[in-house]
Amino acid sequence: MHPIIPITAAPSHKPEPLPTPVETLAQIDRAHARYPKCKLCGQRVRRLDQYGLCSKVSQPHEDYRATHCRGGRPHRWEPSGYCQDCGIREPLDPDDELLPTEGA
């Protein structure tokens, strides 16, 4: 049993001073500690994108987005070349162009 303790009188306390506009690094760090981490580079960001990444557009991040569905799972390519999950077309490897084409 958890008896409900009625709140009688609110304790009197002074209003907190407004935060200074310039945050210290420690304050920023503390705020960032609550942020989710980019699963690729570990950078903490306020919001991850659909792939669970930060907003960087470096090659590894772009590669990851190209090889994963929006939930962050790797694409599952069907033999037809489309992802079973999100339906996008498998990007063609530039090397494929060097292969002899059938029935040409």
Residues at the site binding Zn ion, with contacts judged by CB under 5 A: 38, 40-41, 43, 54, 56, 69, 75, 83, 85-86
| Nearest residue (CB) to Zn ion, 41 versus 72 | 41
Q: How far is the CB of 78 from Zn ion (least distance, A)?
A: 10
48 or 104, CB closer to Zn ion?
Answer: 48
- Integer distance in angstroms from the first to the last C-alpha of the chain? 81
Pick 41 or 65: Cβ nearer Zn ion: 41
Cβ 83 vs Cβ 69: under 8 Å: yes
Are residues 86 and 94 in contact, defined by beta-carbon separation less than 8 angstroms?
A: no
Q: How far is the CB of 28 from Zn ion (least distance, A)?
A: 18
Q: How far is the CB of 7 from Zn ion (least distance, A)?
A: 45
